[in-house]
Structure 1
């Protein structure tokens, strides 16, 4: 795929990794459709993309709600006349142990709300956006690429039953879609980041960040642009499909 003048939608595009991806792709001439729940953050991201040299539009959407997602992707198709790529980046955390006990007594359990909210956004949201993006690509006769953001937590991570299950599902869907959608000229990939320096990690205590970095063979956290570069590489390489690329500094070997 040629990046110049292609149209790529990014969920969670108003902040964090999503914003970094958007600005990086904008610098390569990609037109961006940014999807998020925070209009102020979206406005900031659109301005940064325009400053980087490309066109961007914002869309308020709850990716866990089917009607929202359908209307949003219909609007993207109308506004841009095409859709060449989707980065399914939106996600939330609701961490907690499955069961916490002391002296044989149950102290706390992961609630159904903790479970369901993460599954709704991180798994169902990816399904809905992927389905609608593929629909638009096929209807508009656009070859395209869907990239789902998984995580190295897909292999299982303590305190993240909900998140790990969702991210494992995201990786499995990515491979499944590659097999199903290839006949329409649509590729599907996943990227599984490790520890990345974002706004969320910036608020952590220095000693906690140091401990996290010490577990990584490269002895540092990843930068958002290093994930963005991976996204651009996948979009440009038309023979990449059905794989999960782990970008983690060697953390999971």
Structure 2
């Protein structure tokens, strides 16, 4: 698929990986629909993306866990742009905690249902809702010859200490990806996933120096990944029409 003139919807697109992908794609001629909850960051993102370009960029405030908002937002996007060619399910959160915290053989703290459910709601249910709506318009738009859904998973999909909720959600994303690829291939829609390692974003830079150094030491390349490298991975998936039903792990050889 050629990125030029395609309509790309990116959830969690106001900052971090989502914004980096939007910036990369608009430089290649794409039209961008950004979905996020952060109004000020959305405004800033649109302002930066529309500088020195004639491509269309529109922001949409929506909670990906709210079915009515997702349905309404994708309907509006399809009307505004005339088609939905690519969806990147990027929105995600973490609420890290041990399943049970033990001191002197006594459980002193447990992961709450809210900690578990909030992450599942955004990282998995949100992917389901947005994927369902995007697939609907990709199929029903007669002028759309092909479609693509890219789901953002994580290397933690295999399990990681302190991330019961996050790991479960990202493993679920992989299962959605392979299932949808099988179901939607007949409609010329490809579905793929990306599993990033630790990426150099505002979130990682806000961590304690000692924690950053420990994670860097766990990689084979001796550094964090860049947002541009994730954008490049998404570009590969977009442009390679034989890639579907699979996930790319891009993690610098990290050991978790």
TM-score if structure 2 supplies the norm length?
0.97
Q: Per-residue deviation at 1:52? A: 5.8
Residue 42 of structure 1 pairs with residue 42 of structure 2: yes
Q: Per-residue deviation at 1:29? A: 0.7
Q: Counterparts in 2 of 1:133-172, with a 5 A limit?
A: 133-141=134-142, 142=144, 143-172=146-175
Query: In structure 2, the residue corresponding to 1:5 is in which secondary structure?
Result: coil
8 A Cα contact 1:49 1:55, kept in partner = no
Name 1:17's counterpart in structure 2.
17
- Partner Cα distance (1:69, 1:161) in 2: 26
Structure 2: 5+ residue runs without aligned partners? none
8 A Cα contact 1:21 1:225, kept in partner = yes
Q: Per-residue deviation at 1:236? A: 1.2
Residue 2 of structure 1 pairs with residue 5 of structure 2: no
Name 1:31's counterpart in structure 2.
31
Name 1:97's counterpart in structure 2.
98
RMSD: 1.1
8 A Cα contact 2:218 2:255, kept in partner = no
Query: In structure 2, the residue corresponding to 1:51 is in which secondary structure?
Result: coil
- Partner Cα distance (2:52, 2:218) in 1: 35
Paired residue total = 253
Which among 216, 219, 222 is matched to residue 216 of structure 1?
219
Name 2:128's counterpart in structure 1.
127
Q: Per-residue deviation at 1:6? A: 0.2
- Partner Cα distance (1:87, 1:179) in 2: 18
8 A Cα contact 2:93 2:122, kept in partner = yes
- Partner Cα distance (2:221, 2:98) in 1: 29
**Deviation digits for residues 132-174 of structure 1 (CA, Å, limit 9, x no counterpart):** 0000111103211000000000000000000000000001100
TM superposition outliers: structure 1 runs of 4+ over 6 Å: none
Query: In structure 2, the residue corresponding to 1:188 is in which secondary structure?
Result: strand
**Deviation digits for residues 67-91 of structure 1 (CA, Å, limit 9, x no counterpart):** 0000000000000001100000000
